[in-house]
Copies of this chain bind each other. A is one copy, B any other.
Amino acid sequence: MAEHPDPPVKLDRAEVAAERLATALRSLPMFRGLSTQDRERVARVAVLRDYERGEYLWRAGDPADHLTLIVRGQVKIVRHTESGDVILEIFGVGEPVGAIAVYNNIPYPASAACMEPTTLVRIPSADYFELLERNPDFARAIIRELTRLTVALTRKLSEMRGQRVEIRIARLFLTLAERMGRTTAEGIEIPLQLSRQEIAEMVGTTVESAIRLMSRWGREGVLITGEKRFVVPSLAALEQIAEGRDEET
């Protein structure tokens, strides 16, 4: 907490912080529909905070007393089990994290950690509820987000099903490509830093299996691991693998 030692030129600092916050709030789609009055109200109670890669936002079981929104970076939701971790979701810029727990006033059911340097806006849940009361659009946004999550979870659940590891990882990268892929000269680029360990935790397998597959794909040119990103030269090839039968050509 001792990260703000009283600065000698306090006003300047505060002004800079306020400006940064205002910019952040303006960038969040969730606050687009707000009246300027409401937005000012939010600005007074919201807090901007930076996190490093690997830092935890919270652990499973912590009380959910703040709504959290991502301004910059990526956050993963992790469930710890006796036999290893499971990554349930990855959230990106503009998305709310752990909104369900906040909304229902229950402890967080899973932990959340940053996958890269990340900036978050945090709003005390009391203010959040007040906002909800007054702004139906805002409520809609939350519900929509919640639904998206549920649908993603059910899809993931049905995809997890048995199936070979190769197919599960192929599907993983297909959905990643769809959600955050950029088209480049080399193919689809997925700007996401994922260790083999994390890939394993996302599809429910071991590091070794993930490594074996990824290095084989690297040799075959199906999926190339780069600096803080992945590249898929041919979506079609990946889809072939995800379908079940390998490409024989």
The residues of A with any CB-CB pair to B shorter than 8 Å are 79, 81-84, 86, 88, 100, 103-104, 106, 109-110, 143-144, 146-147, 149-151, 153-163, 204-205, 244
| A154 contacts B205, C-beta separation under 8 Å | no
CB-based nearest B residue for A157: B157
| A204 contacts B149, C-beta separation under 8 Å | no
A162 contact set on B, CB distance < 8 A: 83, 204-205
| B150 contacts A149, C-beta separation under 8 Å | yes
- A147-B104 contact in complex given A88-B154, A109-B154, C-beta closer than 8 Å: yes
Name the contact of A158 in the complex, choosing from B86, B150, B155, B163 (C-beta under 8 A).
B86
A83 contact set on B, CB distance < 8 A: 161-163, 244
| B156 contacts A157, C-beta separation under 8 Å | yes
A86 contact set on B, CB distance < 8 A: 157-158, 161
Beyond contacts A88-B154, A153-B157: 14 other A-B pairs, Cβ-Cβ < 8 A, are A81-B158, A81-B159, A81-B161, A83-B162, A84-B161, A86-B161, A100-B151, A109-B155, A146-B147, A150-B150, A150-B153, A153-B153, A157-B157, A157-B160
| B100 contacts A161, C-beta separation under 8 Å | no
A157 contact set on B, CB distance < 8 A: 79, 86, 88, 153, 156-157, 160
| B82 contacts A158, C-beta separation under 8 Å | no
The distance from the CB of A110 to the nearest CB of chain B, in whole angstroms, is 7
Q: Considering residues A86, A149, A161, A163, which has the most beta carbons from chain B within 10 angstroms of its beta carbon?
A: A161
Roughly how many angstroms separate A86 CA and B160 CA in the complex, as a whole number?
10
A149 contact set on B, CB distance < 8 A: 150
A163 contact set on B, CB distance < 8 A: 83
Roughly how many angstroms separate A106 CA and B147 CA in the complex, as a whole number?
10
- A160-B204 contact in complex given A100-B150, A104-B143, A153-B150, C-beta closer than 8 Å: yes
A109 contact set on B, CB distance < 8 A: 151, 154-155
The distance from the CB of A158 to the nearest CB of chain B, in whole angstroms, is 4
